[in-house]
Structures are given as structure tokens and as C-alpha cells.
Structure 1
Amino acid sequence: MTTDPVRAAFFDVDETLITCKSMLSFLDFHWGREGRAPARLTAARAALGHQLRSGVPREQVNRAYYRLLRGSHESDLEESGRLWFARENTRGLFHRPVREALRQHHRAGDLTILLSGSFAACLAPIGQAVGADLLVCTTPEITDGILTGDLTDRPMIGQAKSEAAHRIMRAFALDPSDCHAYADDATDLPLLTSVGRPVIVGSDPTLTTRATRENWPRLPGPAMNGLLAKAA
């Protein structure tokens, strides 16, 4: 983006722009670098999955994930993020239809924004690779370079994504009716309804029903490549 944008395009990340669920894929890689036992990841995955199946709000499950990183060094996570991205990018990390849509928005001069409940350690390389103008994500609390396990604010999930989108559109004096949003999960409905041009990715039943009723465009979803039902 080289001039003042007329429109914005908001992109969910996990299973929308990329083919996997970044948080646990990253955790698997990072703990592997640290020499953690594979059983620890299995236990973490099981605990988070149990919370989701039990109806625990996704915001709480998201917070539980970051508690797993308590005591981690920010610099170590950033290095793992760079290495994780380099590995995953050779395996087909990006979901091609959405990646192409983002390219088209770039060519049109639109402001491009990634919104995710994941965090910058693994999202920053993704944002840099696609040339996103803004990255809005969950922010772990860091003291003296070490993660405390808490967050600086609420997770970037659900209504928080919608509110962030509205703040950005106001800041750039953009008309929401001209803006786009791409997302795959029912929790992203607040984001999708924040703009006049929503696009759903995949076959989430709630979004599919809404898309059929509202005549929203649809893109195919990526092949399942995740470790857990979406927590971001």
C-alpha cells in the first residue's frame, strides 16, 4: 500500500489464509526445539480439546494456551517462529485461494490486515511473507523478556476482531460497506458482519447457512491439517 487506502481487507489466519492451526503447530515445533517430550504436547492438546468439547468459551481456551508458554523467553519464541515458518512454508502453508485474494487486494491498493487469536512469534513471519499492512493478534504479557502466561488484553477472538476492524476502518476513514473480510469459523461472524463484503472460507455450518441466506461469496477451505479444533 503506497497511497491512502479506499478499502480494507481483513483476513483471519488459521485455516483461512494458512492451511493449519498455527498455535499448536508452532507449539509442537517450539517444544521440539527445546527437547520437550512428545507426551507433553499430547497432554496439552488433550486438555485444550477437552475444554472446547465441554463448551468452555474459546477466549478461555485461548488463555489456557498461553499459560503453557509461561517462563518462555520472548527471543526464543521469535527464533522458533522464524524457523517454524521456514519449515511450514515448504510444506504448503498458505491456502492458495485466499493467498491469491490477498494479492488481488494488494494490487487494488487496499489496506490488508491479518486478525488472529494467535501471537506475533509465529504470525509476524506470515505477515511479512504476504506483505500485510497490519497484524492484529493476541499479545502475551512479557516481563523482562519472559512470558508470564497472562495476556496484556483479551484474546483477539470473536467480538474482539470486530471491534479491532471497526477501529481500523475509523482510523483510516474507510466506509465499512466497501471493505472485505475473509474467515472460516462461526466465531468470526462478528468480523464478517462488520463489513459490507464478507467472504466465507470452507464449510462451517453456521457460516454456510448465513452465506446462503445473505448470498455471501464462498471460497473452498484447506484440507484439514490441524491439531485441534480452532482455538484462535
Structure 2
Amino acid sequence: MMNLALFDLDHTLLPLDSDYEWGQFLCRVGAVDAAEFARRNDEFFAQYQAGTLDPVVYLEFALGTLAAFPRPRLDQLQAQFMAEVIAPAIKPSARALLQKHLDAGDLVAIVTATNHYVTAPIAAALGVEHLIAAMPEVAEDGAITGKLLGTPTQGHGKVAHTKAWLERLGKRLEDFDTVHFYSDSHNDIPLMSVVSHPVATNPNAALTSHAAAQGWPTIKLFND
């Protein structure tokens, strides 16, 4: 029977937060008002770390930023971001963990609260075909409108979106012998609680405590 391996992205497979770093990158290259954007980005990031982030409010901000650029310019910025920020941050330990599941024939997916536009090339760079992420509305000409399609992929939303993705494949969580979910954050406890093999990966303090209480294994990929 095929097994399922689910992975959070930021601080789990990457030793950084791709959403936050995207904002920092836009500031650094002068694509946005650095002072105002950095202020809001730092505020949202602190809320995420504290578990108080309103995902809809944040996504409207993030997608609104994407919508401010013509698509050719946005794609150019994305390619530069991948080359300068993401590619150098991908660690062999993360690739090895993914490859272990891929070599075993597991169905592998990344489940992230970050939007699909930012994370799709990251998933591709990691060799992961399936990505569950917040979906931006895209106009017929390819431009991002700034609106969110559906609901956020955060907290309990990760559970709903994962089940919906599996349903589109004609599967359910119960159809797999084992279901791993690797995450660093207490924000992902809802999905971790419904899989057979939750793994606290580079966990923050809140998840470290919860994992210990639940007897969940803990691993660290980024000791170097």
C-alpha cells in the first residue's frame, strides 16, 4: 500500500520563511517602499510566530503586493529571488529526507500557508510535484488580481485543503498505511493530530512542548 508524506515548507524544509524573505527581497531590490513594507512584513511575521496571525488579512496584503507588478516583471523578480535567496538556502539534509520518501514510492506533497505563486518554484526546486498552498486569483492575461481563491491553507485549513486534494486524487487519509506530516510550528497541530506519524521538525518552543507531551518524534534538519 502506498504511504503519504506531507511537509510544511518554511522552517521545515527551508531554514527560513519564504514569505517573509520574499518581502525582504522586494525591499532590498527597491521594488516596494522599503520602510512601509518592512514594517508591515515584520508585524505579520511576529503575529505568525505568536500564532495570532489572521491569514486572510495577511494574504490580502501579500497578494495585493503581487498584484502591483505586471506579470513579466513579477516573474523576473521571482526568478531572481529563487537564485539569490532560495537556492542557496536549500540544505542537503532536507533533500535527503524528501528523497527517502520519494525513493520509497510515497505520495509526497508540500502543504504550506504561503501563497502558491511564491512557493510553486520552490516545490519544483525540491523535486516535489504536489503543492497545497494559498491560491491567488489569476486574470486571463496571467496577472495576479490580489484576491484569494477559496480559503487560507493555515491551521485547520491545512486539514481541509489536504483532504480536498486527496479527494481530487480519489483518495482519503484513511487509504494510506502510514501518513507522515513534518512541521516546525504549533500552527500545524491540527493536521499533525489527524495523521498517523506526525514529526516535529526543527520545532518552535510551543510545538516542542506539545510534541513531548504527545510522544511525537522530533528531528532537526538544520544543525549546521
The answer to whether TM tops 0.5 is yes
What's 1:214 paired with? 214
**Distance of aligned partners of 1:158 and 1:203 in 2 relative to their CA distance in 1, 3 Å threshold:** same
**Structure 1 residue 70, shift from structure 2 partner:** 3.4
Aligned residue pairs, count = 218
Contact 2:8–2:184 (CA under 8 A) maintained in structure 1:
yes
Contact 2:137–2:148 (CA under 8 A) maintained in structure 1:
yes
What's 1:226 paired with? none
**Structure 1 residue 47, shift from structure 2 partner:** 4.5
Secondary structure of the corresponding residue to residue 23 of structure 2: helix
Secondary structure of the corresponding residue to residue 144 of structure 2: strand
Secondary structure of the corresponding residue to residue 116 of structure 1: strand
Task: Say yes or no: does 1:180 pair with 2:180.
Answer: yes
Q: Which has the higher contact order (CA 8 A, sep 6+)?
A: 1
Question: RMSD value over aligned CA atoms?
Answer: 2.7
Contact 2:156–2:190 (CA under 8 A) maintained in structure 1:
yes
Secondary structure of the corresponding residue to residue 163 of structure 2: helix
**Structure 1 unaligned blocks of 5 or more:** 224-232
**Distance of aligned partners of 1:59 and 1:190 in 2 relative to their CA distance in 1, 3 Å threshold:** farther
Deviations 1:28-53 (A, max 9, x none): 32454454443243233244357667
Q: What TM-score results when the alignment is normalised by the length of structure 2?
A: 0.82
Task: Say yes or no: does 1:119 pair with 2:115.
Answer: yes
> Percent of counterpart pairs with the same letter?
24
Task: Say yes or no: does 1:15 pair with 2:11.
Answer: yes
Q: What TM-score results when the alignment is normalised by the length of structure 1?
A: 0.80
**Structure 2 unaligned blocks of 5 or more:** none
Task: Say yes or no: does 1:100 pair with 2:96.
Answer: yes
Counterpart mapping for 1:37-186 below 5 A: 37-49=33-45, 55-91=52-88, 93-143=89-139, 144-170=141-167, 171-173=170-172, 175=175, 178-186=178-186
Counterpart amino acid of residue 162 in structure 1? V
**Distance of aligned partners of 1:45 and 1:13 in 2 relative to their CA distance in 1, 3 Å threshold:** same
